[in-house]
Structure 1
Amino acid sequence: MPLSETEARRQLRRAVIASTVGTTIEWYDFFLYSTVTGLVFAKLYFPESNPLVGTLQAFLIYAVGFIARPVGAAIFGHYGDRIGRKATLVATLLLMGLATFAVAFVPSYARIGIWGAVALTVLRFIQGVGVGGEWGGSVLMSMEWARSDAHRGLVASWPQFGVPAGLFLANLAVLAMSSLAGDQFLTWGWRVPFLLSIVLVAIGLYIRLNILETPVFARLLAEHRIEKTPMLEVIRRQPKDILLSALVRMAEQAPFYIFTAFVFTYGVMTLGMSRNLLLTAVLAAAVLEFFTIPFFGHLSDVWGRRRMYIAGAVAVGVFGFLYFAMVDTRNPMWVFAAIVLSLVPHSMMYGPQAALIAETFTGRLRYSGASMGYQLASVIAGGPAPLIATALFARYQSGYAIAVYVLVCAALSVFAASQLRDYTNKDISREYDDTGATHDSGDTWHAA
């Protein structure tokens, strides 16, 4: 039975809140690990390595989470298109939350030797699997409840809001604990934020259990249009779109982790900057994205998803050089400004990105296709970025070498975005391959 307009609007609000709160919790967990990697894990789990090698080893564990994300996309993409968006999102939240909570109990190298690093690697992999399935469901839960094609970019951008919110909470928690005297932060203080994650998981679980399935999936279920193997089917039907969705994220994801995760290693170990200054700057940048992500999501509804995204990719390619020029001054004001401003080009891409990628795939394959395209970028962009940045600096002893890497990522994203179809303000409720509702390689719909 169709919902009334009032009830549909209520469900849209619930879906947006559930997606945003859920992604905030998941990204709090993920970023907490990212922040602590550069500050703690190299010292606690690789104490016999020199600082640079220990950092590389810690970031290798960090990268495992990104390698796991396509695995999560494949697993939960399949179930998201088979049993629904809601049930799948509950599972991803539990998987991610429990793995993060368990990190708080991993003994250090001094207690159990190399097995501490092994345990961290396993838990990081589980985290990555959870995040890999989370994004697609959160975006679809919001986007498929949107009441108007003209506001889909804004609605889909709200789950993206979970990234700066999670980044803010993770850095706030670490900042609060890092004020502990002496070695208390290194000894036990870093574990507290991981323990607190279980409270956030309970809140997110309660919210997600009280929403309805999306109209798009409900229609597919009623029409018996569910695919038996959606992941295999989308790989067969839309392989180019999956690859382009991954490449389009190069300019968004790789620089983001350099500017917000690698900066702790670069700033503290190389430049001798204050850890708290960097944490505060990342906090301020996250707060700025509270406003810029939905703004650019809305702007993509007006200006066009693809055009907005390309502008952001060009901006980050140029800003990489400005970023390291400002950070290398060691002037706290310039360092603070560089970190805060670095997330403006990121928002230009991240705001419209959810709709740009998810709209590319037809409804019955959307969870699988969008998740796989989005998470493959983790293997080629986000995961290797801190490792590549560390290796480039070790080789050239200059941040500008890293800026060149950012520029290459930007160029790849500009190319990929130019090749993706733009579905801004177009009807995506129909299956794209239905008779009489085909689409060509351009931006226009036509009758077959």
Structure 2
Amino acid sequence: MPSTDENKSQSDSKMARRALIASTAGSAIEWYDFYVYGLSAALVFNHLFFPSSSPYAGTLLALGTFFAGFVARPLGAMIFGHFGDSIGRRGVLIVTTLLMGFGTFFVGLTPTYDMVGIWGAVILVALRVVQGIGVGGDWGGSVLMATEWNSAKGKRGFTGSLPQFGSPLGLITATIVTEAANRMIPQESYESFGWRIPFLFSFLLTGLALFLRLRVKETSSFEEAKRDGTIRQAPVAYLLRHHWRRVLQATLMRAGQHASFYIFTTFVLTYGVTSLGQTRSSMLLAVMLAAAVSLGSTLFWGSMSDRIGRKRMLQIGIIVMFLFALPYFGLLNSGITALMVAGIVLSLVVHDMQYGPQSSFIAESFPAEVRYSGASLSYQLSSITSGGPAALIATAFMATFNSTLPIALYLMGMCLIAFLALFFMPSVDDATDTHDTPMPVHDWQTAS
């Protein structure tokens, strides 16, 4: 008959598997909500909510509402990081799922400029902030729910990449639903009511995410912290007092990856349609193909980091991204369909060299007592410094210079920032760390 320890181990392993499924599926649904907004902002929101503006100005304004969600993400990270570190990961994930789901659903009910004038855009921004707060608090919990189980030791690069896997899965789902609505409904009807369908569809996806996440217990790491009495009552304040340098480093380390993603998936849609003369459907299908390939590459590079180390994998990824920036736009500007599609697909494979192992690396850089706060805040601050402005900056550069060269140079500059930030971060991997040991203390840093 199995011993008590064996029964507990089997129970923990079963719950860890549930946690992986719930984290991955929940993350995919959360990102579906976020990306379906980005697709609509790039394709139809410019004339639905800003009809009096020029095409580029309208696109900038529409992407500005998209940026509002990025500004709200660090706020969500701070709010839910506090509760995630003080009361637990599981309950926080339930709340963030509801926030994202209802925020997205009500975007689908928002009146356009023809109905209420500029108030439609105001409502849109408010709902985008709700979305941003939700996703800002959700990412950290999803990653920790996947990696903080004892059975994840030795393979946290892979398990941490599973919530990241939810991002391309969410992008694929958002693209499929958006494209299906666009194809089934005449263009005039689509811009009247069809664009709302992908947002309203999120109601069903939110229900699925809640079902999966309610079946998961609290992580073993957090339960151990509770038993040991190491829970901080004000984890965010403690984090910013003792580990602010690590937060800054992790934020800047994301610069190249985060900026590139929104250039590769959001800006490219506008650029392809307005500057390259491609159809909206062809650009959406190319991005969807890239996201499908990204499903495998995200997991591959995450698993590779278990073999060669997270930091080394990230360094390689940044260098490859730097070298890829100019060829990427060369492929797009070639005018040859096969080369354009190849550039779009390769862009996410290169992006995933950083994205796959990034979640585990960031989580491993903070001690358990402030891990939710530290991982969430550093990850989401990048939304303001890198991810959020990227599509706006690329669109503005294109309108000003009528050339993709400044955009490529901008991306290369972000890679340099990322490489320098990563250089000063220590290597903390499963091979040498228990995942619950506080990060190394340097002579320039005080921790207690």
Report the residue type matching 1:285 in the other structure.
A
Question: TM-score, normalised on structure 2?
Answer: 0.95
Q: CA deviation at 1:183?
A: 1.3
From 402, 409, 412, the counterpart of 1:404:
409
Write the deviation string for residues 134-153 of structure 1: whole angstroms up to 9, x where unpaired.
11000000110142532111
Hey, what does 1:178 align to over in structure 2?
182
Q: Is the 8 A contact 2:318 2:419 kept in 1?
A: yes
Write the deviation string for residues 187-206 of structure 1: whole angstroms up to 9, x where unpaired.
11111011110100001101
Hey, what does 1:142 align to over in structure 2?
146
Distance 2:187 2:238 in 1: 56
Q: Does 1:418 align with 2:419?
A: no
Hey, what does 2:250 align to over in structure 1?
245
From 225, 228, 240, the counterpart of 1:220:
225
Distance 2:388 2:377 in 1: 15
Q: Is the 8 A contact 1:359 1:428 kept in 2?
A: no
Distance 2:158 2:113 in 1: 46
Percent of residue pairs bearing the same amino acid type: 42
Q: 1:265 to 1:148 in 2, by over 3 A?
A: closer
Q: Is the 8 A contact 2:364 2:435 kept in 1?
A: no
Report the residue type matching 1:240 in the other structure.
R
Q: Is the 8 A contact 1:146 1:155 kept in 2?
A: no
Hey, what does 2:434 align to over in structure 1?
428
From 58, 62, 86, the counterpart of 1:58:
62
Q: Does 1:25 align with 2:26?
A: no
Structure 1 stretches of 5 or more lacking a match?
Answer: 433-437, 443-448
Report 1:43-122 matches (<5 A).
43-122=47-126
Question: TM-score, normalised on structure 1?
Answer: 0.95
Distance 2:83 2:155 in 1: 27
Distance 1:407 1:87 in 2: 40
From 344, 365, 376, the counterpart of 1:371:
376
Hey, what does 1:9 align to over in structure 2?
13
Hey, what does 1:210 align to over in structure 2?
215
Q: Is the 8 A contact 2:150 2:221 kept in 1?
A: no
Write the deviation string for residues 323-351 of structure 1: whole angstroms up to 9, x where unpaired.
11111122221111111110011110011
Report 1:327-366 matches (<5 A).
327-366=332-371
Hey, what does 2:40 align to over in structure 1?
36
Report the residue type matching 1:7 in the other structure.
S
Q: 1:246 to 1:429 in 2, by over 3 A?
A: closer
Q: Is the 8 A contact 1:104 1:191 kept in 2?
A: yes
Q: CA deviation at 1:440?
A: 4.6
Report the residue type matching 2:52 in the other structure.
E
Distance 2:42 2:49 in 1: 12
Report the residue type matching 1:372 in the other structure.
L
Q: Does 1:313 align with 2:326?
A: no
Q: Is the 8 A contact 1:277 1:336 kept in 2?
A: no
Q: Does 1:279 align with 2:280?
A: no
From 273, 296, 301, the counterpart of 2:301:
296
Q: CA deviation at 1:66?
A: 0.3
Distance 1:270 1:36 in 2: 18
Distance 2:436 2:68 in 1: 37
Hey, what does 1:446 align to over in structure 2?
none
Aligned length: 438
Q: CA deviation at 1:154?
A: 0.7
Distance 1:188 1:210 in 2: 36
Hey, what does 2:446 align to over in structure 1?
none
Distance 1:439 1:135 in 2: 24
Report the residue type matching 1:387 in the other structure.
L
> Secondary structure of the equivalent of 1:18?
helix
Q: Is the 8 A contact 2:260 2:390 kept in 1?
A: yes
